[in-house]
C-alpha cells in the first residue's frame, strides 16, 4: 500500500520560505530525515519516492500554484491509484497561532484555497491533513499579502519547530499509525 504526502505551497524563488509554503518545508524536512532527496518533475509537481520501515510513500510538491493544487494531486493520485484515504496534505493555517499544529482525518477546506481545489477536483474530502499555524497578520496587512511574506524571526522559530514535529507524524502516517498531535502552547 502506497501513501501520498502532499505539501502545499507556491513554486519559484519569489515564494521560497514564505508562510504559504510551510507544506513544502514540511516535506523537505521529511525528505532530509529519510534521505529521499531525488525530486522528479512529474504530475505538474515535484515528486520523491521512498520507503520507511517497509512502507512505500510518495512526496508531492504541486508546482501549479496554491489555488490549483488539486490538478497535481489528482494526476498523481490517479496514476498510482491511491485511495483518497491514503493521502495526507500539509498546509498553512492562518486561523491557528504560529507553530500550533492541527490534524484531521477528513473535513472541509476551512477557507484554504489549496484544500478547496483538492476537494473539488478529487471529488472527496476524506484525506488526512495537518495544518501548521502561521497566525494572522497584525495591523493593516491583508491575509493574501501576509501568507505570501516571509515570517518574522519569532514566528519563523515557532513554525520551524512545528515543521520538525510533523516529521514524526508523517512517518506515523506512512506506517498507517494513528496521528495524535499533542496540544502545545504558542510563545
Active-site annotation, residues: 20
What is the C-alpha separation between 126 and 118, in angstroms, rounded?
A: 11
What is the C-alpha separation between 152 and 128, in angstroms, rounded?
A: 29
Q: Please check whether residue 129 is in contact with residue 107, taking contact to mean a CB–CB distance below 8 angstroms.
A: yes
Residue with the three cell numbers 506515523: 172
Q: Please check whether residue 58 is in contact with residue 80, taking contact to mean a CB–CB distance below 8 angstroms.
A: yes
What is the C-alpha separation between 66 and 54, in angstroms, rounded?
A: 32
Amino acid at each position: 500500500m502506497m501513501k501520498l504526502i502532499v505539501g502545499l505551497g507556491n513554486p519559484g524563488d519569489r515564494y521560497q520560505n514564505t508562510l504559504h509554503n510551510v507544506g513544502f518545508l514540511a516535506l523537505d524536512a521529511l525528505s532530509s530525515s529519510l534521505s529521499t532527496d531525488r525530486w522528479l518533475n512529474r504530475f505538474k509537481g515535484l515528486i520523491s519516492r521512498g520507503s520507511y520501515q517497509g512502507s512505500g510513500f510518495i512526496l508531492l510538491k504541486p508546482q501549479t500554484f496554491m489555488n490549483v493544487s488539486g490538478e497535481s494531486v489528482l494526476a498523481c493520485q490517479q496514476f498510482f491509484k491511491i485511495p483518497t484515504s491514503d493521502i495526507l496534505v500539509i498546509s498553512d493555517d492562518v486561523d491557528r497561532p504560529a507553530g500550533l499544529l492541527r490534524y484531521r482525518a477528513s473535513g472541509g477546506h476551512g477557507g484554504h484555497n489549496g484544500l478547496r481545489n483538492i476537494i473539488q477536483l478529487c471529488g472527496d474530502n476524506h484525506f488526512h491533513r495537518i495544518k501548521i499555524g502561521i497566525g494572522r497578520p497584525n495591523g493593516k496587512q491583508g491575509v493574501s499579502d501576509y501568507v505570501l511574506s516571509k515570517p518574522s524571526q519569532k514566528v519563523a522559530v515557532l513554525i520551524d519547530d512545528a515543521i520538525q514535529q510533523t516529521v514524526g507524524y508523517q512517518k506515523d502516517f506512512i506506517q498507517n499509525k494513528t496521528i495524535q498531535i499533542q496540544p502545545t502552547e504558542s510563545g
